[in-house]
Structure 1
Amino acid sequence: MSERSGRRRWWALGALAVGVLVVAVAAALVWEGVLWPNRLAADGYDVRGVDVSAYQGKIDWPVLAAQDLDFAFIKATEGSSHVDERFAASWAGAQETDLLVGAYHFLSFESPGAGQAAHLIEQVPATPGTLPPVVDVEYYGDFAADPPSVTELRGILDPMLDALEEHYGAPPIIYTTQEVREVYLGAEYDRYPLWIRSVALTPEVPRRVWEFWQYSDRDVLDGYAGEETHIDMNVFDGSLEDLRALAL
């Protein structure tokens, strides 16, 4: 090998090493929430909020709310029997702030929708001024590899949506991923407010089709002390007055 060839090889190896280091550092910064691909696009929206569950632990709601937030969704229930252990405290605490507050239910593919609706209704009061309840529809566990059919999922989801709308007097919000929306939710579901999860890129679903966009699950804010150090961040496609108009 000539001296010139040797230098070229070392330059190539050095450039490769630098490239690997840059990628590793960028990945670490994304993981820690320092960098986030969607943050620049999300900065174009004025109305911002979080969604929380027991994983964030005890929340100091005045501290959390003071960080340029306008709304918060709190996990209430899952399936036909599970209640989030922090729901009652978070529901009460959040309403002592200026935040617009709503509750969400994680849909189970393993129990009837009417029973799941009754479970949510039992836990979440129809308080005027709060946001409509959310039904979180996404794959979980073994269903990621072996999902239910369209008929099976709609057979659970539809009775739940109907019961919630009758009880709360407003169409529930549907939270879902782009994949689940494409597979299961046709145009007849467009009358429900849509909360779309897209944490890697901006949503493929056009604006004015979705109302809420979860753009990050790696942010870090002050005011909570649970086992999960990160918190989900969202924006609303509209003004604060538009968001208030959605409330019960």
Structure 2
Amino acid sequence: MLTRFGVVSAVLGLLALGGWLYARDWAPSREEFPTQGVSISSDNGTVEWGTLAAQGTDFAYIRAASGGQLRDQAFEANWAAARAAGMRYGASLDFSLCAKASDQATAFMTMVPRDNAALPPVIRLAFEPGCRARPGQDAVLSELNTLINLIESHSGTPVVLNPSDDFDARYDIASGINRTLWLDRNFFPPDREKRKWVMWTASDMRHIDGIDGPVKWDVMPR
């Protein structure tokens, strides 16, 4: 009985290992999603940008700031290196419910230069760890509209919004703000018939040469 249990456990362990190895290397088909890239921040450590580009990474979204206080220390180096590697590049801001829109816009604009070659800026909308504020919907949409207007005036291009499922379920962003969406969902693309989107985070656990550890892998449909 113990032997049989041991065999079953070993088989389940091998299946789990095989699934993990498959998941860490998986990316959607290039036929359906020809443009594929990464989301990068200082959390990813030192990035070997030439290695990323050589493996077919088409673009990178690089975090500039989080809320009104944290300015990503690796942003300038990553921004310059992505451009030097011949990749397309854009800046992102992690929105915070615990900071004023004006402060968050200032943090972003201080970090991100005006660059006509850059991709549209992205605002990520998620519940920030350590921030317990939960304002009403009207207040959040008002602050977000202020933030969007300031960033768009700086960049000269419309922003893309990247809401998490739980943030969007609470605040129904699309009800008050008409902007292009970037959605997250590991392995299974969101239904484009139900909700239009232009980018999808297909995996937040992909491993790729040039980055130590898992990275968010983002794709654009044909």
Distance 1:42 1:148, change over 3 A: farther
Distance 1:41 1:220, change over 3 A: closer
Spell out, residue by residue over 1:120-154, the C-alpha distance to the aligned partner (whole angstroms, 9 max, x if none).
0111012011111111101232568x744322322
Counterpart position of 1:154 = 141
Counterpart position of 2:54 = 66
Counterpart position of 1:233 = 217
Distance 1:40 1:76, change over 3 A: closer
Please say which of residues 80-89 and 179-188 is displaced more in the overlay: 179-188
Secondary structure of 1:69 counterpart? coil
Which one of the candidate residues 192, 200, 207 is aligned to 1:220?
Answer: 207
TM normalised by structure 2 equals: 0.85
Counterpart position of 2:186 = 199
C-alpha distance in 2 between matches for 1:137 and 1:173: 11
C-alpha distance in 2 between matches for 1:142 and 1:23: 37
- 1:40 Cα deviation (Å)? 6.5
Spell out, residue by residue over 1:86-113, the C-alpha distance to the aligned partner (whole angstroms, 9 max, x if none).
1110011111122110011111111111
C-alpha distance in 1 between matches for 2:145 and 2:8: 50
Counterpart position of 1:6 = none
- 1:180 Cα deviation (Å)? 2.6
- 1:178 Cα deviation (Å)? 3.0
| Alignment map for 1:6-17 (pairs within 5 Å) | 14=4
C-alpha distance in 2 between matches for 1:209 and 1:38: 27
Spell out, residue by residue over 1:59-101, the C-alpha distance to the aligned partner (whole angstroms, 9 max, x if none).
1211111111111001110111211111110011111122110
Secondary structure of 2:90 counterpart? strand
Which one of the candidate residues 100, 111, 114 is aligned to 1:123?
Answer: 111
Which one of the candidate residues 39, 46, 50 is aligned to 2:38?
Answer: 50
Spell out, residue by residue over 1:7-34, the C-alpha distance to the aligned partner (whole angstroms, 9 max, x if none).
xxx5xx94x7666544444444455xx2
C-alpha distance in 1 between matches for 2:64 and 2:50: 20
Q: What amino acid is the match of 1:164?
A: I
Computing the radius of gyration from Cα coordinates, the structure with the larger value is 1
Structure 2 portions without partners, runs of 5+: none
Structure 1 portions without partners, runs of 5+: 1-9, 239-248
Distance 1:135 1:64, change over 3 A: same
Which one of the candidate residues 209, 214, 228 is aligned to 2:196?
Answer: 209
Q: Percent identity?
A: 25
- 1:38 Cα deviation (Å)? 11
Distance 1:132 1:28, change over 3 A: same
- Contact 2:181 2:197 (C-alpha < 8 Å) held by counterparts: yes
C-alpha distance in 2 between matches for 1:118 and 1:70: 29
Paired residues, what number? 220
